[in-house]
Structure 1
Amino acid sequence: MTDLTARTLQGSELDDYFDVFRAAFLLDDELLHFRGVLDAGRSHGVFDGDELIGVASRLAPRLALPGGTSAPLAAVTAVGVKPGHRRRGVLTRLMRAQLHSLHEDGGAPVAALYASEGAIYGRFGYAVGTYEAKLSVPGKTPFKSTVDIDPRPVRELGREAALEFVHRFYPTVERDHAGRLSRDDSAWEVRVAADRPGDAGEGKPRFAVHPDGYAIYRPEKGWNDRGPDFKLHVQELVAATPRAYAALWRYLLDVDFAGEVRWDKAAVDEPVVHLLANPRTAGRRVVDGLWLRLVDLDRALRARTYSAPLDTVLEVTDAFCPWNAGRWRLRVDDDGNAEVTRSEDAAALDVDITDLASVYLGGNTFAGLARAGRLGDADPDALRRASRAFATDVAPHCQEGF
């Protein structure tokens, strides 16, 4: 058997990269629009001799963290192994090459991905760090009479005018919600508002703009015996105030022909449910969102701020990235700022790196992990203090795929 080798790719190898990925995911030409955002210098390949058989890349946005800070993110994407070469350790080599290069280069302290299968990435230190709701609300659903709706109108804008507005508006609220990603022009064009029909039969994006927010949605045509039964698929909804949020939702629900408004990547604590006269009309199914990986534990824990003071020692295991393993003291001051240092003191909590990843953005708690048996016989007081420090007022949420 030929020895497998892993290395960073060269620009001339990107065509081969996409051939491998399309074969792995049984795709045709769906990825042509994605070509412009992948950088060979951030892409790894595994070779069997001269044949490229496994690929993984990463984008380089910033990730909004609890407390209004942000950090560089390795947004892992387009990972695939060529059919006929599976079960040979190719994915393990890709993940090791990617994570070790981030550590050695002092790159992003956190990595994230969307997992095609839930059983794959835990062995590489990834864990579910955010959740999202598949949300549906029937068209024309009434609000409670007490809902305060911003009276300023929501207007449909053409693509060019709308993108000019959202490019200016989004950065003003980007860091207000942990889990959101920064965007350059290519991110808007490829990940958020691509000017092409959706993958499930939806039309091109439309833009509903309010002075304090916007919604990007795609209509899906539909008719039944009673008449029009369109579905509006929300791509993204961002608002700076509760009144603007209510105005945008009221606009979408009242669109002529709309029988239902769907949002497959809504937050699990989406406020619209509290606006409805009958909250049961909102259908919700919660699924995993971002899977997180702490590349460099100390840099990652220092990057975010915390909700309560804390002084604790963590005994961390990390079989895949051994530089994170060992005993760490996490001190958080009254302002939520953290100091992270090696320690020889007795540990209050024994955690795997996956446990830290799952609580990092506030999507899970140490106490919840303990109830699942993840943390062994942890001291209850240490669990409570750690859970409070890592907690967030708003559930972390990423509105976009990558």
Structure 2
Amino acid sequence: MNTDLRVLTASEWDAWLGCTELAFGGVPLSPESRELYASLAEPQRALGHWDGAECVGTAGAYSFRVTVPGGAAVPAAGVTMVSVAATHRRQGLLTSMMRRQLDDVRSWGEPLAVLLASEPGIYGRFGYGAATSELNLRIDTSRVGLALPPGTDGVRVRRSSPERALGACEAVYARLAAGRPGTPVRRPGWERVAVSDPESRREGGSPLQCVLAERDGEVTGYATFHLRPAWDDAGPRGTVAVRDVAGLDPASYAALWRFLSGIDLMPVVECRNRPADDPVLRLVSDVRRCEVRLRDGLYVRLVDLGAALAARSYRAPLDVVLDVQDAFCPWNAGRWRLTADAGSAAACRRTDDDPGLSLSAGVLGAAYLGGVSLTTLAAAGQVRELRVGALAEAALAFSSDVQPWCPHGF
């Protein structure tokens, strides 16, 4: 079939979104969610495949800035709402949209593209690598206690409505985002995603609730959550479904978890999408009772390899030549000399020198935020050491003090 691939116009957004909804199961977004995403939409950065008057393929790209190791906020295309109609599969539509989109991102001067994959097997062939993990928890609070750090009793936890607390929560989010690679620096309007509360997101639970942690009148953390009451013959079996929890210091974070774990009639706390190194794993008395599960999170694509590698800082001095394979974005392929002093500016330039490591752009994307070790990737056969010692040097330099994490969808 012949289709027309073109940049979206504002008047085509509803039809474009309808194609996405159909591809993801055919359940329409709630009016509230539709209005929210319409306000965040950037039609000039969205692509659609059209078969006559019918939209049969979609791919969007929000204009984001993402925190990288060292704290810099690097421009990144937040790839979103990628779909192909079931009637038009296996005809090259997805590949053509990925090709056009990455060309566009390069022309916009954005060194990175990032996405959250509906299925992990889709995007590797386009040079994306899984760079973060998400931690899911289910805690039986009737059998699990908390080891609270000093100062926890000095933190006040009080209720607020999510809307009234939004400004204070966003201030906490912004402070934490600067120290966590992978975190989007939210543009105006995106704070509404944090409190969006359509009934479809509650999974049978209460409207979104919020508490704030305070010390000396200053907000030092927050938690948002739903309550899902339930009973069986033995008594209450309700669940606290945590949407988000954040604290600026250990005592504030622990105080929020103490609150969440102590709500009457709710002996289960569920948490989705927490960082892989969440300190709650060290607060609980019995991690075996917490049903811990990891899954892939943010995928990273180096669009301008030299600019991307120079934009982050490195944990140790580094001087390594990378031999990079990149069939989908051939402008990245070849040898690059990456040099850096610990914690300071880096440089990445073309070179003809002998390489120390050989790897693909997708593997480099997986390692970029410091959460996936180059040593681990080498053990999986995805990195080849061509100079003795180069792997250990690069693995240390690329590593991060904290695990990278993307705290919300887009």
Task: Give your verdict on TM over 0.5.
Answer: yes
Q: CA separation of 1:147/1:223 partners in 2, compared to 1, >3 Å: closer, same or farther?
A: farther
Equivalents in 2 of 1:14, 1:58: separation in Å? 14
- CA offsets, 1:3-55, max 9 Å, x none? x3322111111111012111211223225242222111111112335542111
Equivalents in 1 of 2:294, 2:404: separation in Å? 13
Equivalents in 2 of 1:221, 1:145: separation in Å? 27
> By how many angstroms is 1:252 displaced?
0.5
Moved over 6 A (4+): none
Equivalents in 2 of 1:179, 1:377: separation in Å? 27
| DSSP 3-state at the match of 1:159 | coil
Equivalents in 1 of 2:9, 2:177: separation in Å? 33
- CA offsets, 1:294-346, max 9 Å, x none? 11111111111110010010111111111111111000024332101110101
Q: CA separation of 1:221/1:378 partners in 2, compared to 1, >3 Å: closer, same or farther?
A: farther
Q: Contact 1:148–1:246 at 8 Å: present in 2 too?
A: no
Equivalents in 2 of 1:135, 1:378: separation in Å? 41
Q: CA separation of 1:159/1:72 partners in 2, compared to 1, >3 Å: closer, same or farther?
A: same
> By how many angstroms is 1:230 displaced?
1.6
Pick aligned residue for 1:83 from 86, 101, 104: 86
Equivalents in 2 of 1:311, 1:235: separation in Å? 42
- CA offsets, 1:46-101, max 9 Å, x none? 23355421111122221111111111121111111112100000001111111100
- Establish whether residue 11 from structure 1 lines up as the match of residue 10 from structure 2: yes
Q: Which position in structure 1 is the counterpart of 2:58?
A: 55
Q: Which runs of structure 2 are paired with 1:67-106 in the superposition (5 Å)?
A: 67-106=70-109
> By how many angstroms is 1:193 displaced?
1.6
Equivalents in 2 of 1:176, 1:336: separation in Å? 16
Q: Which position in structure 2 is the counterpart of 1:270?
A: 278
- CA offsets, 1:100-129, max 9 Å, x none? 0011221x2111111111111000001100
Q: Which position in structure 2 is the counterpart of 1:204?
A: 207
Q: Which position in structure 2 is the counterpart of 1:359?
A: 367
Q: Which position in structure 2 is the counterpart of 1:290?
A: 298
Q: Contact 2:335–2:355 at 8 Å: present in 1 too?
A: yes
- Establish whether residue 115 from structure 1 lines up as the match of residue 117 from structure 2: yes
Q: Which position in structure 1 is the counterpart of 2:339?
A: 331
* Further displaced range: 109-118 or 157-166: 157-166
> By how many angstroms is 1:352 displaced?
0.4
- CA offsets, 1:356-378, max 9 Å, x none? 10000011111111100112354
Q: Which position in structure 2 is the counterpart of 1:319?
A: 327
Pick aligned residue for 2:127 from 125, 128, 132: 125
Pick aligned residue for 1:371 from 353, 371, 379: 379
- AA aligned to 1:366 is L
Equivalents in 1 of 2:384, 2:336: separation in Å? 18
Pick aligned residue for 1:343 from 343, 351, 354: 351
Q: Which runs of structure 2 are paired with 1:165-180 in the superposition (5 Å)?
A: 165-180=168-183
> By how many angstroms is 1:261 displaced?
0.9
Pick aligned residue for 1:238 from 233, 238, 246: 246
Equivalents in 2 of 1:377, 1:72: separation in Å? 31
- CA offsets, 1:252-308, max 9 Å, x none? 001112111111101111111111222322220110001111111111111111100
TM-score (norm 1): 0.95
Q: Contact 1:317–1:352 at 8 Å: present in 2 too?
A: yes
Q: Which runs of 5+ in 1 are unaligned?
A: none
Equivalents in 2 of 1:334, 1:388: separation in Å? 10
Q: Which position in structure 2 is the counterpart of 1:32?
A: 34
Q: CA separation of 1:167/1:205 partners in 2, compared to 1, >3 Å: closer, same or farther?
A: same
Q: Contact 1:196–1:203 at 8 Å: present in 2 too?
A: no
* Further displaced range: 242-251 or 178-187: 178-187
Aligned pair count reads: 399
Q: Which position in structure 1 is the counterpart of 2:217?
A: none
Pick aligned residue for 1:221 from 229, 236, 254: 229
Q: Contact 1:220–1:230 at 8 Å: present in 2 too?
A: yes
| DSSP 3-state at the match of 1:213 | strand
* Further displaced range: 195-204 or 309-318: 195-204
Equivalents in 1 of 2:130, 2:256: separation in Å? 30
| DSSP 3-state at the match of 1:53 | strand
Q: Contact 2:325–2:334 at 8 Å: present in 1 too?
A: yes
Q: CA separation of 1:223/1:378 partners in 2, compared to 1, >3 Å: closer, same or farther?
A: farther
Q: Which position in structure 1 is the counterpart of 2:21?
A: 22
Equivalents in 2 of 1:145, 1:49: separation in Å? 62
Q: Which runs of structure 2 are paired with 1:300-311 in the superposition (5 Å)?
A: 300-311=308-319
Equivalents in 1 of 2:51, 2:184: separation in Å? 35
Q: CA separation of 1:383/1:150 partners in 2, compared to 1, >3 Å: closer, same or farther?
A: farther
Q: Which runs of 5+ in 2 are unaligned?
A: 215-219
Equivalents in 2 of 1:183, 1:316: separation in Å? 32
Q: Contact 1:314–1:348 at 8 Å: present in 2 too?
A: yes
Equivalents in 2 of 1:371, 1:336: separation in Å? 29
Q: Contact 1:144–1:276 at 8 Å: present in 2 too?
A: yes
Indicate the percent of aligned positions where both proteins have the same amino acid.
37
Q: Which position in structure 2 is the counterpart of 1:195?
A: 197
Equivalents in 1 of 2:384, 2:44: separation in Å? 42
TM-score (norm 2): 0.93
Q: Contact 2:274–2:407 at 8 Å: present in 1 too?
A: yes
- AA aligned to 1:125 is G
Equivalents in 1 of 2:325, 2:121: separation in Å? 20
